[in-house]
Chain A
Amino acid sequence: MRRVVVLGPQRHVVTVTEELKLLGLSGRIATITAGWQEREAEDDELSAALGNRSVNLRLHARTDDVFAQDQQLFSAHRRRQDNLRQLQDIYRLRLDHLMASATMLMSRAGPPELIEPEREDTIEQLRALDAHHLRRIRDVHEAFEQEELPGERRALAQHRAEVHGILEECDAVAIAGGHVSTLIGRMRLLDVAAGMVAKPILAWSAGAMVLTDRVIAFHDRPPEGAGNAEILDVGLGIARGIVALPHATTRLKLDDHARMALFSRRFFPADCICLDAGNRGHLDDRTWTFTAGTLRIDRDGATVAASPEAE
């Protein structure tokens, strides 16, 4: 049975070491630090936390090498990125308008029997837009796969084979955070998901986000002003049923219950799980359990224990 562990940020509270012990694995651990981009190889601390038995898959460097060798693929990749960027802009435009009306409705006073169906309908429209955007993203990825046949290109095929070879020799995979788009993009290009089938996975921050069904970007406190959480990409669908929210306490306005209620209801039926430092979640088969202190945003926008029985 595969075990998936999602963790809060590891920079100040390292929990991955203990989790690795709990898994009882003695072999090598494949690490993915592609989210760190050019700093991918600066993984001494991570390696130590994993008992100095890790092997970095170097997905970022490998992708750079593939693109350097295969300019045609590089150009096709850029076209895909341009298309995705344009789609994201259009989605954001539509999202802004829907979110504006939904936000007003969430804080509007009135008889619940009148207001609540209107809220639900607006949220349904948001869900429909999110689902539509996710389909469009999936279409762009599929078109890329069908038109460019990346798996048949020599440089990429070679790196994919090497990555799969390393994964085969490892007992588990550890995925660090960083730039979430870079991380999922490089994992997708090197087809990492196919190579880590059935292996235990430990992931934190952006690493946890890419494992979910939908990669959802969020930030309520950027300098340009609070934006709307947005669907960014198709996730790997391994950590199913949750929205992973790293640094939730600092990135989200958790005290703004109307805002959080909209957030939670929009992404329902997935559970919105706060993954702050020290928080952990375990997925065994199809059941999630979370350690004490790990919070979930409920339908009313309040933060509650993600696993009440653990408290």
Chain B
Amino acid sequence: MIPAIQQLERRGGLDSRVVEMFIRSHTFPLIEGARVTFVWRGQADAVHLRHWVFGLASAQPFHRLAHTDLWHLTIDLPRGSRFEYKFDVVRNGHSQWIRDPLNPNIAHDPFGANSVCQAEGYEVPNWCLPDADARQGTLHELMLNNTAFGGPRPLTVYLPARYRETRRYPLLIVHDGGDYLRYARLKTVLDNLIHRLEVAPMIVALTHPKNRMDEYPNDPHHAQYIVEQVLPFMERNYPVFGTPSQRCLMGASFGGVASLSTAWRYPGVFGKLLLQSGSFAFTDIGENKRGPAFDRVVEFVNAFRENPGRPAEKVYISCGTYESLIYENRSMVPFLQSHGLEVRYDEARDGHNWENWRDRQQSALSWLFPGPLWFVYE
């Protein structure tokens, strides 16, 4: 099949009206089997695709269609891929990163928003979209005083629909709780998966860091805060099981490091870990090459790999194959298994972003906390 952009190029006689018709008659990025075509229209000296796909050159140049102001780039993308990108438009030596004006799919994160490319075979999971039939859980904003950090800290608590004080629930403690709610739709996901009986009704403590880059890489104050303050607070005030097998720590990126290092510092407290794209950088020899932000991470992961102990019983790990951390996460799987931990590992053709972490929630939570689907026969 000849890509649509080539067909346009071949027809000749291109003018502004023809280009306009082409744009109006397609959606962008243009997905044609494994080929994806990005287009941008306007005056510029150069246009690049900027993305966070590890393994591809981070800036891919567009080509201008002769005699037009239409810029285009076609790349091959494996089935099921999803990645986030921007256009880098260069004019008079000035570079400006913008979202793709022709693509309505946008993903938000703490740094703003990116355009999203969804290759053939990728679908937004329906369980992360609002479902009118799903009963809603509730969020409660609380404040913990006199924390290990020396001041108060906000804490958000999720209670499942049909919450009853006479029941007992598993406890999930989440790092970057606000970001999981905002960018990974964690509340909607929990409401839906619990409604579908795929995940056990659970109580979730969503923590909020002040400075995650400082607090998350193996900070003893952070571990103390989670284990000696958040956990007892939750067990005092909510009907949670109170056994390691029903407690889980969860986090993404540096939050994955925070989860693992906390469980490592307090073995036997958490039976389960949910680690997404953990920044598990390590060195077998030599210096850390990822920059100073990773110094304490590498120090921790090296120490952990030297003496892993038994931080939990069951560990779920996920990572995108387009992340620079893919090798570190892959290597963590046999490493943990060889030390007797039960591990489930999922990969997706996605990057280091919140929607990737959102899309893995069904697989993660249903494995760690299977719902009553097994037990319900209506």
Contacts and interface: CB of A to CB of B under 8 A. Distances in A.
A309 interface: no
A206 interface: yes
Given A179-B372, A222-B198, A222-B370, A247 B377 contact: yes
A205 interface: yes
A209 to B, nearest CB: 6
B353 interface: no
B285 interface: no
Contacts of B366: 222-224
Interface in A192-235: 205-206, 209, 217-219, 222-225, 227, 232
B375 A64 contact: no
A38 interface: yes
A182 B372 CA distance: 11
A219 B373 contact: yes
Interface in B226-265: 243, 245
Nearest to A176: B378
Nearest to A232: B375
B294 interface: no
Interface string B154-184: 0000000010101010000000000000000
A179 to B, nearest CB: 5
Nearest to A9: B378
Given A38-B162, A64-B166, A178 B373 contact: no
Contact of A223 (B164, B166, B198): B198
Interface string A175-191: 00111111000000000
A89 interface: yes
Which of B363, B373, B376, B377 has the largest number of chain A CB atoms within 10 A? B377
Nearest to A223: B366
Interface string B344-372: 00000000000000000011001100101
B374 A222 contact: yes
A10 B366 CA distance: 28
A206 to B, nearest CB: 4
A205 B370 CA distance: 21
Contacts of B375: 179-182, 217, 232
A301 interface: no
Contact of A224 (B162, B164, B367): B367
B372 to A, nearest CB: 6
Interface in A92-114: none
A67 interface: yes
A178 B377 contact: yes
B363 A219 contact: no
A217 B374 contact: yes
A223 B360 CA distance: 11
Nearest to B246: A85
A99 B164 CA distance: 37
A205 B374 CA distance: 13
Interface string B86-117: 00000000000000000000000000000000
B363 A89 contact: no
Given A64-B166, A67-B166, A224-B363, A205 B198 contact: no
B370 A224 contact: yes
Given A67-B166, A223-B362, A179 B376 contact: yes
Given A38-B162, A223-B363, A89 B245 contact: yes
B363 A178 contact: no
B172 to A, nearest CB: 16
Contacts of A11: 378
B374 A206 contact: no
Interface residues of B, number: 19
A219 B376 CA distance: 10
Nearest to A207: B377
Contacts of A232: 375
Interface in A229-275: 232, 246-247
A291 to B, nearest CB: 19
Contacts of A247: 377
B194 to A, nearest CB: 12
Nearest to A222: B373
Contacts of B243: 82
B347 to A, nearest CB: 15
Given A89-B245, A224-B366, A219 B162 contact: no
Contacts of B378: 9, 11, 177-178, 205-206
Interface in A152-173: none
B9 to A, nearest CB: 45
A35 B197 CA distance: 14
Contact of A219 (B166, B245, B367, B374): B374
B268 to A, nearest CB: 16
B166 A246 contact: no
B259 to A, nearest CB: 20
Nearest to A251: B377
Contacts of A205: 377-378
Contacts of A246: 377
Contacts of B373: 219, 222-223
A89 B243 CA distance: 14
Contacts of B198: 222-224
Nearest to B342: A93
B125 to A, nearest CB: 10
27 contacts: A9-B377, A9-B378, A64-B166, A67-B166, A78-B168, A89-B245, A177-B378, A179-B376, A180-B375, A180-B376, A181-B375, A182-B375, A205-B378, A206-B376, A206-B378, A209-B377, A219-B373, A222-B198, A222-B366, A222-B373, A223-B198, A223-B362, A223-B373, A224-B367, A224-B370, A227-B374, A246-B377
Given A67-B166, A222-B374, 14 more contacts: A35-B376, A35-B377, A38-B164, A64-B166, A82-B243, A89-B245, A180-B376, A209-B377, A217-B374, A219-B374, A222-B366, A222-B373, A223-B363, A224-B370
Q: Please list the 10 inter-chain residue pairs (A to B) with the smallest Cβ-Cβ separation, ordered nearest first.
A: A206-B377, A224-B366, A205-B377, A223-B366, A246-B377, A224-B367, A177-B378, A177-B377, A223-B198, A217-B374
Interface of A: 9, 11, 35, 38, 64, 67-68, 78, 82, 89, 177-182, 205-206, 209, 217-219, 222-225, 227, 232, 246-247
